Structure 1
């Protein structure tokens, strides 16, 4: 049995296998064929953080695979209201076949997985967002921009940045991260990614100049400047992130046919301009759709590991 908590726990071959499986399932769906690989299986979805894409993609994905998804907010269960995480894990994993958790502290999902009898999927924590990166790389494969990729991440050193670091380190492409001073990536995560990069041949660079990161890039990506739980910091962050908006001038520094990715929701006029988002709308919203297909591939893959 395997859990999906971070990308660092998976080999390059396993990551590519999951993405290939997702693409295969997507192709079948577009042809009007519903593959019922998870027929009569149940996914428990625990949301301590709300989300549009995460809920819709996992719930729809389970339905299309022949299974059923249960939405459980922190108002619906005792988790966080007196019952220890390990007890909730022991109970739910005896009733369901898989668990997806979207929460704040990464330590919570690690503890849940420790006591779970079924695969646990990280739908997002404050530290990592690995399912989003599966969708991002799937999109890169579909658009044929995964070979010799040079990815520039511009913005906050957050869970998305950490996941990009691990994806690059595992798959061996070049990643440049530009963050404002004081918003750099976690030093331990960076150190770990750098060690993994030595094995894969990945090139990882970090700086505080977005123009330096974007110059010659084939992929430019960003994220909201103030994530959920950081609303009180929003005004200060807007000031601190001045010059980090991905606009037409910044995209001109990248390669001529460079693609733009965004995990959404996007705040136009802050981390990305209206013009850039709309000119790349096809790939950005295709990327959003691929959350559905990548996660279906992941769930089927995890189910197969149980035997």
Structure 2
């Protein structure tokens, strides 16, 4: 009989495959499974460890991984890991549960011998007897305490069918977690079939490298196609109204990704078209970038809750999307910018309200070192965005002291993750030694634009 997993256990196995592939290994070993269990917000395995006085970060530190070659394209459970999964199934039957949960996988790992995962757990003073006894107390807690904080919707293509993504505000925390799950599926090579034969229109008023390429490649890999439309092709708002363009496009294509100067243009497209419209960048927000950024944080750090995310630079469209997304994922957000370069007031108020509702901190400061202090993530963007070239010299003067360099990185945590949405102006907002240094996750971040947008398209189509 096939083994049935809970959503959290299934997610842990997927993360285990990611861990193995990242290290260039085609087989998932017990240590990868253990690391996979450390992903998530509030799973039963993590709650069990917490009751035993062990943090997920301690487990990650205790696991000794080998590898480091080119990433593997696929990964399968090794014979030893398959046996551990079977033992987890036995734990499930013994406890009277119907499905294998993350806690059963953890107990099976504790029962195993002769592998790095078992050695790491014992090094932390954990034993099967101690954990299984504590699990009995956990099982007696109210359901609301034992369940994950965010109930992730079943990972399935089309779970946001027909919806627009104009702002991060269009997504609930559950929507975001669902997109992350679908992204993980796609990145592991499990391609949804619901986009096959469909067409995405790319309406771009601004030139682009990452956005255009990643949307185009995403549609191709999903079995669909894209068509690129420049300002010269449409003349939107001059030769023809935005609403008329939208009404024509909805008869020809299945979705629109629009990269425009004015946010109102994308809002008007979404209001007039009966097909999904995705904001691929406006002067107000860049939601696709923010989603890819936080997915990268989740990959690198295994969690987002309780993290300090520090953005150093202009309070621009990327910063505004990030500050709206951070509280949804339980992340504290600090922005450091010169006076006069703060985000727009209404988004600041939205971010403050969201932080209060989700129990996170939101701060704006003019001191880059204060923002960087004890940060888990350091993020920057160009000081002068497209369309602001005439302000370049003034901005360079105003942003002096807001560069992410070695001195600023030393203020953050030792394992701080440094991100930049690119393109980077080396020597201005970020120093070469940081962008090319060991803490940078910029190239993984750029790659994840492809995977998160593929997931988004599979979700809305």
- Check whether TM > 0.5: yes
Superposed CA deviations along residues 216-250 of structure 1, whole A, max 9, x for unmatched, are: 00000000000000011111100000000000000
Question: Aligned partners of 2:242, 2:306: CA distance in 1, in Å?
Answer: 43
- Offset of residue 282 of structure 1: 5.9
Question: Aligned partners of 2:269, 2:359: CA distance in 1, in Å?
Answer: 34
Residue of 368, 372, 377 corresponding to 1:210: 368
- Name the SS for the 1:101 alignment partner: strand
Q: Which residue of 2 aligns with 1:86?
A: 243
- Name the SS for the 1:151 alignment partner: strand
Question: Aligned partners of 1:181, 1:196: CA distance in 2, in Å?
Answer: 23
Q: Are 1:47 and 2:207 an aligned pair?
A: no
Instruction: Give the conservation status (yes or no) of the 8 Å contact 1:179–1:208.
Output: yes
Once the two structures are superposed, the pairs formed by residues 64-75 of structure 1 within 5 Å of their partners are 64-75=221-232
Task: After the TM superposition, list the runs of 4 or more consecutive aligned residues in structure 1 that deviate by more than 6 angstroms.
Answer: none
In structure 2, relative to structure 1, the CA distance for the partners of 1:244 and 1:282 (3 Å cut) is: closer
Instruction: Give the conservation status (yes or no) of the 8 Å contact 2:200–2:257.
Output: yes
Q: Structure 1 regions of 5+ residues with no counterpart? A: none
Instruction: Give the conservation status (yes or no) of the 8 Å contact 1:173–1:201.
Output: no
Question: Aligned partners of 1:20, 1:49: CA distance in 2, in Å?
Answer: 31
Q: Are 1:100 and 2:261 an aligned pair?
A: no
Greater C-alpha radius of gyration: 2
- Offset of residue 280 of structure 1: 4.4
- Offset of residue 19 of structure 1: 1.5
Q: Are 1:237 and 2:395 an aligned pair?
A: yes
- Name the SS for the 1:88 alignment partner: helix
Q: Are 1:140 and 2:279 an aligned pair?
A: no
- Offset of residue 182 of structure 1: 1.0
Question: Aligned partners of 2:197, 2:384: CA distance in 1, in Å?
Answer: 39
Structure possessing the higher relative contact order (Cα contacts under 8 Å, 6 or more residues apart): 1
Question: Aligned partners of 2:342, 2:301: CA distance in 1, in Å?
Answer: 30
- Offset of residue 95 of structure 1: 0.8
Residue of 152, 161, 177 corresponding to 1:16: 177
Residue of 392, 395, 408 corresponding to 1:250: 408
Q: Which residue of 2 aligns with 1:109?
A: 266
Deviates more, 1:75-84 or 1:283-292: 75-84
Deviates more, 1:290-299 or 1:71-80: 71-80
- Please tell me the root mean square deviation across aligned C-alpha atoms, in Å: 1.2
Q: Which residue of 2 aligns with 1:122?
A: 279
In structure 2, relative to structure 1, the CA distance for the partners of 1:83 and 1:280 (3 Å cut) is: farther
Q: Which residue of 1 aligns with 2:310?
A: 152
- Offset of residue 10 of structure 1: 1.1
Instruction: Give the conservation status (yes or no) of the 8 Å contact 2:192–2:458.
Output: no
- Offset of residue 35 of structure 1: 4.2
Question: Aligned partners of 1:55, 1:280: CA distance in 2, in Å?
Answer: 28
- Offset of residue 124 of structure 1: 0.2
Deviates more, 1:80-89 or 1:150-159: 80-89
Q: Structure 2 regions of 5+ residues with no counterpart? A: 1-161
- Offset of residue 208 of structure 1: 0.6
Instruction: Give the conservation status (yes or no) of the 8 Å contact 1:45–1:72.
Output: yes
- Name the SS for the 1:232 alignment partner: helix
In structure 2, relative to structure 1, the CA distance for the partners of 1:275 and 1:282 (3 Å cut) is: closer
- Offset of residue 157 of structure 1: 0.8
- Offset of residue 112 of structure 1: 0.8
- Offset of residue 81 of structure 1: 2.9
Q: Which residue of 1 aligns with 2:334?
A: 176
Question: Aligned partners of 2:185, 2:440: CA distance in 1, in Å?
Answer: 21
Q: Which residue of 2 aligns with 1:272?
A: 430
Q: Which residue of 2 aligns with 1:167?
A: 325
Q: Which residue of 2 aligns with 1:290?
A: 448
Question: Aligned partners of 1:11, 1:231: CA distance in 2, in Å?
Answer: 36
- Offset of residue 16 of structure 1: 1.1
Higher strand share: 1
Instruction: Give the conservation status (yes or no) of the 8 Å contact 1:8–1:170.
Output: no
Question: Aligned partners of 1:6, 1:34: CA distance in 2, in Å?
Answer: 26
- Offset of residue 296 of structure 1: 0.5
- Offset of residue 144 of structure 1: 2.1
In structure 2, relative to structure 1, the CA distance for the partners of 1:213 and 1:105 (3 Å cut) is: same
Q: Which residue of 1 aligns with 2:68?
A: none
Superposed CA deviations along residues 144-178 of structure 1, whole A, max 9, x for unmatched, are: 25242110000001101111110113222100101
- Give me the TM-score of the superposition, normalised by structure 1: 0.95
Residue of 421, 425, 429 corresponding to 1:263: 421
Superposed CA deviations along residues 193-214 of structure 1, whole A, max 9, x for unmatched, are: 1112222112101111110000
Residue of 324, 330, 352 corresponding to 1:194: 352
